[in-house]
Structure 1
Amino acid sequence: MRLVRRRFAGLCSGGALAALTAATLGAGGGRAFARAVARTHFRAVVIGSGFGGSVAALRLGEAGVDTLVLERGRQWPTSPTEAVFGSQERVDGRMFWFRSVAYWPGVLPLPVRPQPGVMEVSNEAHLDILCGAAVGGGSVVYTGATVAPPRRWFEALYPRGLSYDEFAGRWFPLATAALGATTMPRDVYDSPPFTHSRLWDRHMTRAGYPPVPAGSTFDWDVLRAELRGTVRASATAGESDFGCSNGAKKSLTRTYLPRALATGHVQLRPLHEVRAVRRGRRGGYALEVRRMDTAGRTLDVEEYTCDLLFVSAGTLNTNRLLVAARERGDLPDLPAALGSGFGGNGDQVSVRTALTDRPGPAQGAPCASTYFFHDRFAQPLRAESWQLLGAHGLPVLVTFAVTVDRGSRGTFRYDRGTGRVVLADWTPDKQRESARAMHAYDAEIIAANPGLVSAALGYPVPFTGHPLGGCTVGRCTDLEGRVAGHRGLYVVDGSLLPGNAGGANPSLTITALAERALAHIVAAGG
């Protein structure tokens, strides 16, 4: 029984989620507790606890479905005073998913201890793919921007059966409320750490493009506490890419996941990495699962089985799992189109130097404002006010942009020599049009604002923090994520999106699409 208790502590270490999981399993030490911890068969298994997986967990739990969420990453605690995560200014191995050398813009390539850190950086050919690796998935490492795509570009990209009116009237509002997204309050916007946001807005307005407030999942009360000095400065200091140690983000660990666990029908097991998926011997699905400790050491490899499998491992890892399952013969009848249609959402970053204005002593992380350009540039472009951790008064302003790239797509393929799934056909020219749009935007803002110049700062190679596609809705699945030809197999994450969110950060669309999918799946009984 001591080993069982030790194992449980490893599964659910620290915080409110652990307490809810313990409540689900019952008091430690008894037979019911031991059986619950040792169980490896569930009615439903959800792989991943990001935006799609958390929605699936909640809605299955509310429907009374016996559900297990398997998450490869750690459940990270929060602290009002301690720096839980590393950052660009405090580099350590907690930042990265099993890297031995730090790799991030503005970060020296310092040696770090490989471990299950919070961010995976996958160096694919000609493209770096960035994705979260933690309980809460990308919600732990994103910058909270929560915006819907414009109708025009949603309708241009998504299958006709997905009605924009339905999303705008029901699913986007539901997801916005459930994620806790609101716009930045005036008192926070007027504070010194957001001088750069106000300056960005002035530059946009002078150019004739008055921005609008962006929805955000930051907790403004925590930011106010930072401004008062009663908690450690995190969001107001520019921390975001590797998490906010003091809980300044309303990540999924504060929204969907606690609600899912509170149903009493959902278990969450962190540090459980699904390595393979195949048909079960008695029907359903079987998973090969590696269980790790917090240092990343393998504790054991087990088989889990389920009747219903929801693959929500994020675009990169959903493609890795399912393309490998098809090519190795574990699920040989998966759609031939699976793995194709990948896109990077047109992600671009620009840096401008303000020679006559000062953007403040520090640059707060939450995005305050956005503006969408439909037809001005080579591609439709959404510009967002961004920040630079470590600016410390330097006269620099950062813009993040996503473009509506309707044509540049790549394919995930299985490399039989290495046994790995890789992005096989991405080339530098596939981001050329989105880069052209960003350069034209930058030039226009600079021309309207004397004293601004472009700064040649950028990521080491082309990147995306918004990998999308590969298991496209309406092509590899039906409109609810049911995988063609595989009863009980669902995909509910960013891989459903058609390589592009349609002019938006994708978190809201992924959440809304998952809400719609689960509503139909639960109503239909599968």
Structure 2
Amino acid sequence: MSRNVDFNRRRFLGMAALGAAAAAGATTVSLAPSAGAQPRGSRSFVPAVVIGTGYGAAVSALRLGEAGVTTVMLEMGRLWDKPGPDGKVFCKVTNPDSRSTWFKKRTEAPLGSFLWLDVVNKDVEPNAGVLDKVNLGDMSVYVGRGVGGGSLVNGGMAVTPRRDFLQEALPQVDMNEMYDRYFPRANAGLGVSTIPSDFFESTEWYQYSRVSRAAAEKAGLGTVFIPNVYDFAHMRKEAEGTAPKSALDGEVMYGNNHGKRSLDRSYLAAALGTGKVTIESLHHVKALRQESDGTYVLTVHQTDGLGNVLARKEIACKHLFLGAGSLGTTEILLRARETGALPALSADVGGGWGPNGNVMTARANHLWNATGAKQSTIPVMAIDDRNNPVHPVLAEIAPMPAGIETWVSLYLALAKTPERGTFTFDRVTDKLGLTWTKAHSEPAVAAVRSLFDRINKANFTDYRYDLFGSGLNNFAANFCYHPLGGCVLGKATDLYGRVKGYQNLYVTDGSLIPGALGANPFVTITALAERNVERVIAQDIRA
């Protein structure tokens, strides 16, 4: 049986298990009831635990399950597969409710205002919502909460980075293997495709992208189509009115009800389909230690959707895979190091962090260049200035699905910058910190400014200054969507994600990648996890 056929068969079985769990209101998802952790004394034991359900975690769980290894995944967010009172699982960007935000009383959208009016964010009931904004001083980080991690809340932009950029970031990794073997495998597993050109050129839903393309061309700049995990056949039906709308109904930042191949519809479903993987949602890992026999023991709090602790558990395992993301994985390891639970952890844990050069900006178009009241929420095109020898930038043309004409062109720009921060952990407050200041972001802002100054000059346009809170702010670099680093490959770990100082302890997420890629990182995280777990299973588990 071919790899793709086997993957699709398992995915079908796994999606059935997810649906059954949602229908029953369960927090545990498994194809086989016996696949979870088994009692052993005062705690349960399982051969392998994967913390998190994001990209690297999902890859690791699938390949472990295929290898016959009983595996439990621990996810602090909820299983998003049960409709709310309106009959939908997720809420719209323009009408957020308690499903939108992780335990906050008010939403925290990237656009803080419109015409300087506080009309974007809304008061909500605190709940285990799907999107969290973690504030770390001069930098805030958006992260997804739920089974599927960031795949639930991102725009699905599936960018394979330029080979020279990735080689610079990970110089000890074989680029031939990555581009010939692991990137194709990742793209197939994620379900990546590119929007059909005929649909893009004709549909009213991408007028905003075509307006930005024309503005870039006037400045002598080219554009590229950005692959995505959204099902464009479904989107075409949305436009025709023959399928339920999602991307064409203002859904993305707080989840997509239809069309997007998030991880719960791809890798995670296939992992469940092996019959060897169990997902425990609303399970928050609070501490990690190692016993004298090498067993890892996790202290876990099981919670409800209101944040109440329902149970305190200890789960032990032989092989532990950390896939909780740049922030979560680094925090777990730093807490273990600083409290003495894992004292042999490298001093490099916490280093090499960066926001992937994320900068958001917007331009004001002329009245005759309307961007459209109808805008698809799924970005599919970017202005490509990555060949710039001084300021290489990939500027993705972002939607602003306000439901009215705004004449605004919005962009998420990714600048290739060398600035790096360091995570810290305060034992007294039990909190993660980050050494990152506004000055760290200034080189990325300068790079993005150089690009859009040229575009504005060529089009006789100007920036919008009213979208990023009070004052005259035309660039937003104090938040990011793409946190990278904290446990850098080849420094805090070996070249396959094995944590230095400990056996059978692995990192499998974006914390392995130092700081910036010049591209949305999830395809790289997926491909790198495919590479690493293949080696780990062959040498550490099957050997």
Q: TM-score, normalised by structure 1?
A: 0.90
Match of 1:517 in 2: 532
Is residue 446 from structure 1 mapped to residue 456 from structure 2 by the alignment? yes
Is residue 208 from structure 1 mapped to residue 220 from structure 2 by the alignment? yes
CA distance in 2, matches of 1:109, 1:116: 18
Q: CA deviation at 1:10?
A: 12
Is residue 41 from structure 1 mapped to residue 45 from structure 2 by the alignment? yes
Question: Per-residue displacement from partner, 1:264-316 (whole Å, max 9, x unpaired)?
Answer: 11111111111111113643200011111233321111000000000000111
AA at the equivalent of 1:405? T
AA at the equivalent of 2:409? L
Of 291, 309, 312, 2:302 maps to: 291
AA at the equivalent of 1:513? L
Q: CA deviation at 1:504?
A: 0.7
Q: CA deviation at 1:393?
A: 1.7
CA distance in 2, matches of 1:464, 1:444: 24
Q: Is the 8 A contact 1:238 1:387 kept in 2?
A: no
Of 411, 416, 419, 2:427 maps to: 416
Question: Per-residue displacement from partner, 1:163-185 (whole Å, max 9, x unpaired)?
Answer: 22221111111111110111112
Match of 2:139 in 1: 127
Question: Per-residue displacement from partner, 1:22-65 (whole Å, max 9, x unpaired)?
Answer: 53117xxxxx99979x9831100000000000000000000101
Q: CA deviation at 1:510?
A: 0.4
Question: Per-residue displacement from partner, 1:213-257 (whole Å, max 9, x unpaired)?
Answer: 111011123312322334443212342111112x22100011101
Structure 2 residue matching 1:94: 3-state secondary structure:
coil
Q: CA deviation at 1:458?
A: 4.5
CA distance in 2, matches of 1:85, 1:199: 30
Match of 2:73 in 1: 69
Q: Is the 8 A contact 1:188 1:220 kept in 2?
A: no
AA at the equivalent of 2:391? Q
Q: TM-score, normalised by structure 2?
A: 0.88
CA distance in 2, matches of 1:136, 1:15: 18
Match of 2:516 in 1: 500
Match of 1:325 in 2: 336
Match of 2:398 in 1: 386
Match of 2:33 in 1: 25
CA distance in 1, matches of 2:362, 2:88: 27
CA distance in 2, matches of 1:146, 1:96: 24
Of 415, 426, 436, 1:403 maps to: 415
CA distance in 2, matches of 1:205, 1:320: 44
Q: Note closer, same or farther for the CA distance 1:390–1:109 as it changes in structure 2 (3 Å cut).
A: closer
Match of 2:177 in 1: 166
CA distance in 1, matches of 2:24, 2:267: 13
Q: Is the 8 A contact 1:179 1:252 kept in 2?
A: yes
Q: CA deviation at 1:464?
A: 0.9
More displaced stretch, 317-326 vs 197-206: 197-206
Q: CA deviation at 1:96?
A: 1.5
Q: CA deviation at 1:17?
A: 12
Q: Is the 8 A contact 1:10 1:293 kept in 2?
A: no
Q: Note closer, same or farther for the CA distance 1:58–1:22 as it changes in structure 2 (3 Å cut).
A: closer
Q: Is the 8 A contact 1:339 1:470 kept in 2?
A: yes
Structure 1 residue matching 2:132: 3-state secondary structure:
strand
Q: Is the 8 A contact 1:206 1:449 kept in 2?
A: yes
CA distance in 1, matches of 2:76, 2:20: 13
Structure 1: unaligned runs, 5 residues or longer: 1-8, 27-31
Q: Is the 8 A contact 1:48 1:137 kept in 2?
A: yes
Of 275, 280, 285, 1:269 maps to: 280
Match of 2:312 in 1: 301
Q: Note closer, same or farther for the CA distance 1:158–1:329 as it changes in structure 2 (3 Å cut).
A: same
Structure 1 residue matching 2:399: 3-state secondary structure:
coil
Aligned length: 507
CA distance in 1, matches of 2:223, 2:18: 46
Match of 1:432 in 2: 442
